[in-house]
Amino acid sequence: MNARSPSSLASERPSPAPSAAGVLKAPPHLASTFIGWSFVLPFLVALSMFVLAPTAAVIAISFTDWQLGRDTISFVGLENYRALLTARVPRISAANTIIYALMVTPLSVILGLWLAILIESSPMGRAFFRSACFLPVVSTTVAMAIVWEFLLHPTLGPVNSALLLFGLPAQRFLSDAALVLPTLAFIAIWENAGYTMVLFVAGLKSISAELYDAAAVDGADRPWERFWTVTFPLLGPTMVFVVIIMLLRSFRVFETVATLTGGGPRRASEVMLYTIYQEGFQFFQIGYASAITVVFVAFLLLLTLVNFRLMDRSVHYK
Amino acid sequence: MAHIQIQDLNKSFGDTSVLRGIDLSIHEGEFLAILGPSGCGKSTLLRIIAGLETHDSGHVRMGGSIMDGLAPKARDVAVVFQSYALYPHMTVAQNLALPLVMRETTRVQRLPFMGHISSVVKRKRVDIQSAVERAAAQVRIAELLDRKPAQLSGGQRQRVALARALIRKPKLFLLDEPLSNLDATLRASTRTEIVQLQKRLGTTAIYVTHDQTEAMTMADRIAIMIDGRVAQVGTAREIYDRPKDVHAALFVGTPKMNLFDGRIDGGVVRLAKTGMVLAHTADAIDGPIRVGIRPEHVVLKTEFDEGAIPVVETHREFLGSEALIHFGIGGGAPDISGVARLDPDALDKLAPGQTVSACFRPGGLHLFDQSGLRLELSGENLSPAATTALSDKETALDERPIPIIAGI
């Protein structure tokens, strides 16, 4: 915050004189400083209470052996981090999360972009298709997960009935170790595509129609040429945002895992957030869970920064 | 370079009819301005010629062949858009190269690294590169080739847009208000530059604008478009001196032509309000008409001659090389008003609020019928008041020093 300019403006006035009633007022520059702070303070309080303090607490706790419900706490140094390096579950969990994110992010982005272009180029029903695609985003993930559980049920689910109808073998989507991650990824893509679609629609709308005209006159008028000459490059800034949001969202996957698989079968759908939740709130190893959290957050931060740097270079902003 | 012919062109968007039977012929190498107020359909006409918009009926011919339904790239036209429409993610060089790349290389040849694999592609790329440099030199942006559009000023972007249009030597240039985003000084210099460039290349050009100064200074001929119709086509001089209809008359000229209600009674043309006799005609058409007179054809004098109208100055504007007097006719609350253009020195001889006499110069009268079309009357189309009043003091239009108070 820079309170200097208002205060310097105010200090040009003559020094404060006692008012007629004889009551001394605060000097004007103090008053404007106070006003400045009073605007910023609520945000600073909320930021420290809900972001900075908990982050600091988690980092601090990660160096202790604290267990949920225990009165004693002692400093163990890097012990939790050492345990993390050698433990099996966090490693499986990290691998699963990365595989899951690598499936979900690109497909959500491509599907959302495809839907956005399709909807924007359709002569009618745009509002309907937009809302229809956006519905999964506004519905509660847990509720949707339960619907998916029914749809994918090995014996009762309509998906398997459809497979049987076409003479294909029924699948145990959520209890087959080879299928469970792709199935969860599919549900996430179904949910995310509406979100990325809405962002891409906004991006598409900001592209000037004259650019497409110019491209048509210059000879780039086939759909694919229009896409590569105008649409894709001009969606660059949107693309950076969408990719980063989708990466973070897919790294944060929790609801579907907790509702549908509980990390199973045989840890095939164990993901980072679920591991942290289990270690912390089911096994009460808060110190250990905090250490995993710190590593996880640091990784996400690094990923976002690298991403920004890489994509920023090839993107033009107006 | 081509001769463009537009025949009975119609276009409507839903219920709104935008173009109604446009007929227009543009000679080879000509610079034609389409001038009209916003919403008159001039941009739509340009887009139809470019192939960016379809028309409902009629034909567009270019060099004899019908263009209807052809894609823009098949028409060999180049467009300079109002917003310039440069590709913001490409450098100036890439922007200029794109039309050539799209035209002269196949999809396979456009793939990355093809320049290293195929010598044909390599040669083509070298050719395109030198064409880019030539085009950039023509509009003096050679030092900007590596920049992106965002790093350029408005005038520089405009040049890039011009270079992109001329790089592939099209048959026809279409310019859609290309100067409207520039500041006044730059606009004036760019005007000359565009005309010189067009004359040097000899390419036919159609220039859409709502700015009469641009149209009058740049174009060989002007087509005035009003409400989806071509009101008049002609040189700036023809349109200014003999406007074919009242809309064209009002649209060209600053300040606007004065327009009064008049009538013809038994061969006498009069002002409806005052009954002042303006002209005599041999034609037997009676009825109400509209009388137009350009501000420079109004003469204000301090002496009252027979037939002159007493007018009161309501407002004056000093513009340096000229002065404008706004006047009212008819006593306290004037219900007819007009403008006269004067020599600035004449202002001193006229006291503000003074009642003076107004008469009209010979040959300055424009008569329009009730539907707005120009009336060509045979006989003396002269203002008798003006003839008598002017005969002894001034006879030629270019006699600037005028004894009392006078127009230009």
The pLDDT tens digits for B51-109 are 998 889 988 988 888 888 888 888 889 999 988 999 988 889 989 998 888 888 877 77
Instruction: Decide if B210 is inside a domain.
Output: yes
Token pair 């209470």: residue: A49
Query: Between β-strands B287-293 and B298-301, what pairing exists: parallel, antiparallel or unpaired?
Result: unpaired
Instruction: Decide if B402 is inside a domain.
Output: no
Residue B99 to residue A219, Cβ atoms within 8 A: yes
* B49, closest residue in chain A (CA to CA): A217
pLDDT at A14: 47
Q: Of the candidates B364, B367, B387, which has an alpha carbon nearest to the alpha carbon of residue B378?
A: B367
Q: Which of B206, B227, B248 is the last residue of a domain?
A: B248
Residues B261 and B243 reside in one and the same domain: no
Residues B241 and B261 reside in one and the same domain: no
- CB contacts of A213 in chain B (<8 Å) are 47, 50, 52, 72, 79, 81, 85
| Measured distance CA(B67)–CA(B51) in Å, rounded | 8
Choose between A10 and A248: higher pLDDT: A248
Could you give the dihedral angle defined by the CA atoms of residues B120, B122, B125 and B127, in that order, rounded to the nearest 10 degrees? Answer: -70
| Measured distance CA(A307)–CA(A298) in Å, rounded | 14
Choose between B40 and B363: higher pLDDT: B40
Look up residue A147 and give its two tokens: 């619907």
Answer whether A252's CB lies under 8 Å from A188's CB. Answer: no
B209: Cβ–Cβ under 8 A, 6 or more apart, which residues?
B33, B34, B35, B177, B179, B180, B215
Instruction: Decide if B243 is inside a domain.
Output: yes
Residues B206 and B231 reside in one and the same domain: yes
Domain edges within chain A: 25-61, 80-313
Residues B115 and B206 reside in one and the same domain: yes
Mean pLDDT of A180-200: 91
Confidence of residue B405 (pLDDT cuts 50, 70, 90): very low
Q: Of the candidates B186, B262, B220, which has an alpha carbon nearest to the alpha carbon of residue B32?
A: B220
* Best residue in B75, B86, B87 for a mutation probing chain A (most A CBs within 10 Å): B87
Mean pLDDT of B150-157: 89
Residues B209 and B311 reside in one and the same domain: no
- CB contacts of B82 in chain A (<8 Å) are 210
Q: Which of A218, A230, A316 sits opposite B102 (nearest CB)?
A: A218
- CB contacts of B150 in chain A (<8 Å) are 316, 318
Instruction: Decide if B326 is inside a domain.
Output: yes
Is the pLDDT score of A137 beyond 60?
yes
Mean pLDDT of A155-183: 84
- CB contacts of B85 in chain A (<8 Å) are 208, 210-211, 213-214
Q: Which of B248, B271, B291 is the last residue of a domain?
A: B248
Q: Which of B248, B282, B297 is the last residue of a domain?
A: B248
Number of structural domains in chain B: 2
Residues B181 and B287 reside in one and the same domain: no
Is the pLDDT score of A114 beyond 90?
yes
CA of B166, closest CA in chain A: separation in Å? 11
Burial class of residue A163, CB neighbours in 10 A (0-12, 13-18, 19+)? middle
What's the distance, Cα to Cα, between the start and end of chain A in Å? 27
Residues B294 and B339 reside in one and the same domain: yes
**Per-residue pLDDT tens digits for B305-351:** 666 778 888 888 888 888 898 888 765 555 678 888 888 888 887 87
Range scoring the smallest mean pLDDT among A64-68, A69-73, A263-267, B392-396: B392-396
Residues B241 and B310 reside in one and the same domain: no
Mean pLDDT of A44-58: 93
Confidence of residue B379 (pLDDT cuts 50, 70, 90): low
Confidence of residue A309 (pLDDT cuts 50, 70, 90): confident
Mean pLDDT of B351-364: 79
A106: Cβ–Cβ under 8 A, 6 or more apart, which residues?
none
Choose between A28 and B26: higher pLDDT: B26
* A318, closest residue in chain B (CA to CA): B150
Domain ranges, residue B85: 4-248
- Residue B337's H or E segment, with its range, is strand B336-342
Is the pLDDT score of A128 beyond 50?
yes
CA of A234, closest CA in chain B: separation in Å? 7
Q: Is B221 left (phi over 0), alpha (psi -120 to 50) or beta?
A: beta
**CATH number for the domain including B30?**
3.40.50.300
Q: Which of B50, B83, B164 sits opposite A208 (nearest CB)?
A: B83
Residues B204 and B263 reside in one and the same domain: no
pLDDT at A6: 42
* Sheet arrangement for strand B355-360: B298-301, B355-360, B309-318, B323-329, B336-342
Residues B214 and B278 reside in one and the same domain: no
Answer whether A133's CB lies under 8 Å from A122's CB. Answer: no
Residues B10 and B58 reside in one and the same domain: yes
Residues B217 and B339 reside in one and the same domain: no
Choose between B318 and A26: higher pLDDT: B318
**CATH number for the domain including B272?**
2.40.50.140
- CB contacts of B72 in chain A (<8 Å) are 213, 216-217, 221
| Measured distance CA(B301)–CA(B203) in Å, rounded | 50
**Per-residue pLDDT tens digits for B226-236:** 888 898 999 99
Range scoring the smallest mean pLDDT among A109-113, A119-123, B35-39, B388-392: B388-392
Mean pLDDT of A28-49: 90
Residue A234 to residue B88, Cβ atoms within 8 A: yes
pLDDT at B30: 92
| Measured distance CA(B79)–CA(B68) in Å, rounded | 18
Contacts 24+ apart (CB under 8 A), A70-73: A70/A284
CA of B87, closest CA in chain A: separation in Å? 7
* A314, closest residue in chain B (CA to CA): B89
Residue B71 to residue A229, Cβ atoms within 8 A: no
Give the CATH H-level superfamily of domain A80-313: MetI-like (1.10.3720.10)
